[in-house]
Amino acid sequence: MTRLVVCTALRIETLAVRGRGRTTVRVGVGPRRAAAAVPRLPAGDALAVLGFAGGLTAAGPRPGDLFVATEVRAGERRVPCPWAADLLSLLTEAGLPAWGAPLVTHDRIVTGAARSRLAVDGALAVDMESAPLASGADGRPFVVLRAIVDTPDKPLASLGTPYRALLALHRLRRAVPVLSAWAARSAGHPRFPPAKEVRG
């Protein structure tokens, strides 16, 4: 059986992904905790980051939409995600369309005009953990699968946030079997070299 290692930040995200054939590691919130978790990531055939994210533009993904990172950015560093296309294809086949675009990892929750500043060169979503965890892939198939909770016009500090979080959680739960199918299919392919960070 393919062993899929899934990294989450929040307890509610962890509960959404637990199941046979998957090992879940709760790394905690933020890039520092995520980086500290990298040395203790267990061995596995594939690695995924799963959880919530924020949308960066009003024209981008909406609350509840699934999002797959085609590239993970942190400052000037850029880590490509070559397995994103496979996961996007499987999600679409399962009737779960998802956005595919670059994702930015930031050290704090992004609000207001900061979203626009991060939405350069096509970035459409932001999280706080993926960039450090990308280095933990070590050549294994690696993807980032997020569900959008907040957007420029639907910020976290608003009355609808609990509903949007539940919608995002529902979408993630529906996507977990697809994530497992991706891992099983990807494990039979040649491994990529460890992802190289590119300075933008």
List C-alpha distances in Å: 158 to 3, 114, 126: 39, 18, 18
pLDDT at res. 199: 53
CA distance 152 to 8: 24
Can you give the residue ranges of every domain in the chain? 4-186
The CATH class for the domain spanning 4-186 reads alpha beta
Mean pLDDT for back-to-back runs of 10 residues, the chain (200 residues): 87 81 90 95 92 96 97 92 96 96 95 90 96 87 97 91 94 95 78 49
What lies within 8 Å, CB to CB, of 166 at 6+ separation is none
pLDDT value at residue 187: 73
Of 117, 103, 106, the C-alpha closest to 71 is 103
Residue 74, CA distances (Å) to 104, 117, 149 in order: 6, 13, 20
Query: Could you count the other beta carbons within 10 Å of the beta carbon of residue 1?
Result: 9
Residues forming a β-bridge with 161: none
Q: What is the pLDDT, as a whole number, of residue 10?
A: 94
**Tally of residues, the chain:** 200
Provide the sign of the torsion angle of the four alpha carbons 165, 181, 80, 77, taken in this order: positive
Alpha-carbon gap, residue 89 to 85, rounded angstroms: 6
Q: Three-state DSSP class for 116?
A: helix
Q: Please tell me the predicted confidence (pLDDT) of residue 193.
A: 45
Residue 65 buriedness (CB in 10 A; 0-12 / 13-18 / 19+): buried
Q: Give the whole-angstrom CA distance, residue 50 versus residue 18.
A: 11
In whole angstroms, give the CA distance from residue 139 to residue 155. 36
